[in-house]
């Protein structure tokens, strides 16, 4: 068996701890270093994980003998930390969104191309078992030609940490599109194989967040609200994307809207369609002259963070391509930039 990969985690918050557990579960990585500016978190996670090197400055972690790092800090630090890690010769598993915007994402990708390191973007939803099953159906041509996708993620009330970094554009890059839309856009393009969005007509709204103290909700993740903080991001977006002449995508991505909570990615093919739900998959097709719904069985216990870590380790060893590439991450960020541009312009915009 190959030597274990020596890994470090930069930012050992909510998702950083999940990366740590996922690496451990693979049995193929040694977590030798963690880094966080929060001293209490660093100490408690360091104890829990039994990690040797516990550092408060990521530049010190990059001097430790690690082969690879997970970059799990907030969005505003993705560019700086990912570039420094690649320049230090480390393989990088970079959390989503790839960066605050496409310009930053292009900088990261350009550095990755010059470096010896692997760059994998943490598009973990692809590794959910139902996503893998659907990708396999599509790859084998069972749905025929995919010509339209629908990306729907609408929460009745779900603004995270109102007034904090999530709702501050300079720190997050945007609202629900940056937080959740990246997963749905990535899934739509990865499932369909359509990676060339050419234009978008979109509109974003901010009808709930900016009201701050008047925002009515049941519970708040990443809360509590900071009413003296900032909310300058969208809470709802909708639009229509063209992929040249070949395909289209409609989307609705919201943290808050006066409607039912809904979440799915749908692909429409000329032989079949499919809807990917949070924990389920349904295929709409025809058999024997009848319309039928197929619900493939899959291993529900499979942990997508572990699969993601496993594939990253294999990519670092040169055994496979990264499970989600930097150039795909750039495409998602260009699409999101274009959505904001279209909304501001009140017109369809080209994606270059
Ligand atoms: N793939 C997913 O399913 C998923 C889920 C949640 C979050 N995320 C992404 O992961 C990132 C982190 O989100 P989170 O929810 O874990 O946030 P978090 O606030 O829980 O964790 C971020 C950690 O980074 C630390 N940090 C801040 N500045 C630092 C610095 N300069 N050096 C080292 N550490 C520093 C913070 O102290 C904190 O512990 C975000 O980009 C988010 O979008 C992805």
pLDDT given at position 341: 98
pLDDT given at position 278: 81
Choice from 72, 97, 165, 324 to test ligand 1 binding pocket (greatest atom count within 8 A of CB): 72
- Return the percentage of the chain with pLDDT > 70, whole number: 100
- What is the per-residue pLDDT across 34-65, written as a single tens digit (0 to 9) for each? 999 999 999 999 999 999 999 999 999 999 99
Choice from 10, 15, 158 to test ligand 1 binding pocket (greatest atom count within 8 A of CB): 15
**pLDDT exceeds 80 at position 2:** no
Distance 351 CA to ligand 1 centre (A): 29
Give yes or no for residue 35 CB within 6 A of ligand 1.
Answer: yes
Q: Is the distance from CB of 240 to CB of 351 less than 8 angstroms?
A: no
* Sign of the dihedral through C-alpha 222, 223, 228, 230: positive
d(CA 284, CA 270): 11
Give CA 241 to chain center in angstroms.
19
**pLDDT exceeds 90 at position 114:** yes
User: C-alpha angle with apex 62: 51 to 60, nearest 5 degrees?
Assistant: 75
The two structure tokens encoding residue 306 = 């572990």
Write down the architecture of domain 5-125+305-325 according to CATH: 3-Layer(aba) Sandwich (3.40)
Cβ-based neighbours of 345, under 8 Å, separated by 6 or more: none
**pLDDT exceeds 60 at position 298:** yes
The two structure tokens encoding residue 185 = 């856009």
Write down the architecture of domain 128-301+332-350 according to CATH: 2-Layer Sandwich (3.30)
**Whole-prediction pTM:** 0.97
Distances in Å between the Cα of 160 and the Cα atoms of 220, 221, 273 are 6, 5, 33
Give yes or no for residue 305 CB within 6 A of ligand 1.
Answer: no
Residue nearest to atom 21 of ligand 1 (CA): 13
pLDDT given at position 313: 98
Domain boundary assignment for the chain: 5-125+305-325, 128-301+332-350
Q: Is the distance from CB of 10 to CB of 80 less than 8 angstroms?
A: no
């Amino acid at each position: 068996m190959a030597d274990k990969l020596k890994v470090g985690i930069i930012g050992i918050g909510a998702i950083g701890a999940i990366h740590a557990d996922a690496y451990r579960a693979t049995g193929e990585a040694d977590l030798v270093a963690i880094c966080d500016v929060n001293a209490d978190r660093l100490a408690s996670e360091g104890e829990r994980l039994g990690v040797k090197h516990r550092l408060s400055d990521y530049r010190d972690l990059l001097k430790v003998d690690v082969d690879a790092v997970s970059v799990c800090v907030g969005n505003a630090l993705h560019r700086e930390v990912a570039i420094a890690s690649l320049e230090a010769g480390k393989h990088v598993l970079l959390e989503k969104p790839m960066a605050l915007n496409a310009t930053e994402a292009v900088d990261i990708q350009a550095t990755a191309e010059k470096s010896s390191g692997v760059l994998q973007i943490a598009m973990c939803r692809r590794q959910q078992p139902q996503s893998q099953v659907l990708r396999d159906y599509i790859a084998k041509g069972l749905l025929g030609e995919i010509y339209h996708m629908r990306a729907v993620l609408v929460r009745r009330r779900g603004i995270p940490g109102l007034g904090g970094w999530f709702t501050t554009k300079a720190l997050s890059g945007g609202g629900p599109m940056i937080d959740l839309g990246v997963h749905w856009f990535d899934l739509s393009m990865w499932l369909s194989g359509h990676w060339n969005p050419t234009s978008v007509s979109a509109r974003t709204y901010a009808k709930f967040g900016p009201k701050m103290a008047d925002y009515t909700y049941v519970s708040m993740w990443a809360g509590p609200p900071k009413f003296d903080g900032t909310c300058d991001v969208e809470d709802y977006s909708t639009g229509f994307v063209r992929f040249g002449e070949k395909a289209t995508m409609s989307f609705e991505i919201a943290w808050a809207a006066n409607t039912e909570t809904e979440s799915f990615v749908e692909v429409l093919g000329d032989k079949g369609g499919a809807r990917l739900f949070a924990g389920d998959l349904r295929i709409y097709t025809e058999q024997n002259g009848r319309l039928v719904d197929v619900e493939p069985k899959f291993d529900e216990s499979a942990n997508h963070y572990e699969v993601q870590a496993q594939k990253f380790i294999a990519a670092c060893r040169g055994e496979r391509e990264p499970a989600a590439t930097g150039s795909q991450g750039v495409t998602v960020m260009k699409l999101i930039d274009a959505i904001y541009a279209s909304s501001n312009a009140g017109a369809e915009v080209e994606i270059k």
